[in-house]
Amino acid sequence: MTDAFAFPDGFLWGAATAAHQIEGSPLADGAGPSIWTRFAHTPGLTHNGDTGDVACDHYRRWKDDVRLMRELGLTAYRFSVSWSRVLPEGTGRVNPAGLDFYSRLVDALLEAGIEPLLTLYHWDLPAALDDRGGWLNRDCAGWFAEYATVMAKALDGRVRKWVTLNEPWVITDGGYLHGALAPGHRNKYEAPIASHNLMRAHGAAVQAYRAVGRHEIGLVVNIEPKYPASDAPEDQTATRRAHAYMNEQYLHPALLGHYPPELREIFGDAWPDWPAEDFALIRQPLDFLGINYYTRNVTRADGSWPLKAGAVKQPSATYTETGWEVFPQGLTDTLLWVRRTYGDIPLYVTENGAAFFDPPVAEGGRVRDPLRIDYLRRHLRAVHEAIRAGCDIRGYMVWSLLDNLEWSLGYSKRFGIVHVNYATQQRTVKDSGRWYANVVRSHGRAL
């Protein structure tokens, strides 16, 4: 086996999931509802009316799933905590059964030699806090800090890698600007406020963690590199606008202490003058960044609201079931851009994967998913190229361990390296899962 793809010692090989997408039992044992409990039970808002009431039944099958991770040889597992399972009203009263679920999960991971990466917020805000304004209420920073303190006191030491938010861009663009995600608002004036408050909450949670925790905390952002469709000035400026809106809007305040100027141009009178002290709160020293990468965007100027920038389909490219171009070079470009722009902060690829149409489980329990193997192989090679170019990349989490609830798309899209039969909850390791296990075993050399 060549050392062409030797990865750094200690590089973490993992898989990622999120509470609402896999756990099920959203109201079990004293848990409170989240905005996704409400959103999915609102007719017409999710594919087929799919909800997270059962999902992958991970709340009850977690021991089997940890066993599965151990069989795959994973050395890390990124998961999220359901805030309203632990704090049913979002603040105040702690639900011991909720905290105990995550404590037992973490102990089982450690027992299996798997490093937990814990995401505090992966989109499932307690409904009780949404009733108080949710991310539109500046008090959310204090609510999130209180929740971070509860979790750090309970788990820090066993959990040594913490993430505050998963993808503030998707939370805002989906939940407050375009309305495709919970809480389903479509409001150009609300979006910047929710977005800014999310980042204030991120900063407050980092401060709260550091008052209790002794390990590492970071932020996870989705980055979609933008490539101009032409040299035409309007396409160049549209590309710049899209890049600022999706890729700089969160890393700039978190790491540089200011927003890119294009945001005022995009939102116009909907972009407030933020209090200067907010940026001191938002810009907290971070131990790492998590980068979620799926695809790129070839961008041209168009009439879309409010960005006036849209994607140009690439005729010769392969596209996934979610309509995303397969473009591994974009991952290398992204990782190098982050290092160039924000310095040598340690990085994890905290999500990367693809939904393809998977055939049913064949006789003998095989799921042939060659397109996913090709996608993962090419993207892992792209990670290695960035490492060779000097990026300090410390781990890779495939999205996802299990087929799961793809938010508003319901169960129609399968990202897992393990197939889930939702009727029987039978797990079947796909060919991509066996392939990934071999890559992990060889520490990347089998790429």
| Ramachandran quadrant class, 29 (left: phi over 0; alpha: psi -120 to 50; beta: rest) | left
C-alpha neighbours within 13 Å on the C-beta side of residue 268: 6
The question of whether 234 is a catalytic residue gets the answer: no
Q: Which of 307, 187, 287 is nearest to 240 (CA)?
A: 307
79/279 with CB nearer ligand GI1:
79
Residues 290-329 that bind ligand GI1 (CB under 6 A): 292, 294
Q: Least Å distance between CB 222 and ligand GI1?
A: 3
- Pick 126 or 330: Cβ nearer ligand GI1: 330
In the bound complex, which residue of the shown chain has the CB atom lying closest to ligand GI1?
A: 222
Catalytic residue among 23, 167, 262, 406: 167
Q: How far is the CB of 336 from ligand GI1 (least distance, A)?
A: 18
Q: Report the C-alpha gap between 399 and 427 in whole angstroms.
A: 16
List the one residue out of 224, 238, 226, 342 whose CA is nearest residue 289. Answer: 342
**Listed ranges 54-62, 86-94, 166-174, 177-185: which one lies at the site for ligand GI1 (CB under 6 A):** 166-174
CB-nearer residue toward ligand GI1: 124 or 190: 124
Binding mask 60-99 for ligand GI1 (x = CB under 6 A): ----------------------------------------
Bridge partners (DSSP) listed for residue 299? 228, 311
Stretch that binds ligand GI1, among 105-113, 164-172, 328-336, 364-372 (CB under 6 A): 164-172
Contact string (CB under 6 A) for ligand GI1, positions 389-428, x = contact: ----------x------x--------x-------------
* Cα–Cα distance list, 382 to 99, 257, 333 (Å): 38, 30, 9
Residue in 115, 190, 224, 351 annotated catalytic? 351
Q: Looking at 183-328, list the stretches that DSSP marks H as alpha helix, in order from N- to C-terminal side.
A: 190-212, 233-243, 251, 262-267, 276-282
Count of residues touching ligand GI1 (by CB under 6 A):
12
The answer to whether 400 and 384 are in contact (CB under 8 A) is no
The footprint of ligand GI1 on residues 3-32 (CB under 6 A) is 18, 21
CA 343/CA 447 separation, integer angstroms: 28
Site string (322-361) toward ligand GI1, x via CB under 6 A: -----------------------------x----------
The correct pick among 6, 112, 170, 345 for binding ligand GI1 (CB under 6 A) is 170
Core vs surface per residue 252-279: b (16+ CB within 10 A) or e: bbbbeeebbebbebbbeebbeebeeebb
- Dihedral sign for Cα 51, 56, 60, 66, please: negative
Closest contact distance (angstroms) between CB of 21 and ligand GI1 is: 6
Based on CB atoms, which residue is closest to ligand GI1, 181 or 373? 181
151 near 81, Cβ under 8 Å? yes
DSSP alpha helix (H) spans, 244-275: 251, 262-267
Q: Are strands 76-80 and 115-121 parallel, antiparallel or unpaired?
A: parallel
- Known catalytic residue at 351: yes
Q: Which of 65, 167, 248, 369 binds ligand GI1 (CB under 6 A)?
A: 167
User: Residue numbers of the site for ligand GI1 (CB under 6 A)?
Assistant: 18, 21, 166-167, 170, 222, 292, 294, 351, 399, 406, 415
User: Could you list the active site residues?
Assistant: 167, 351
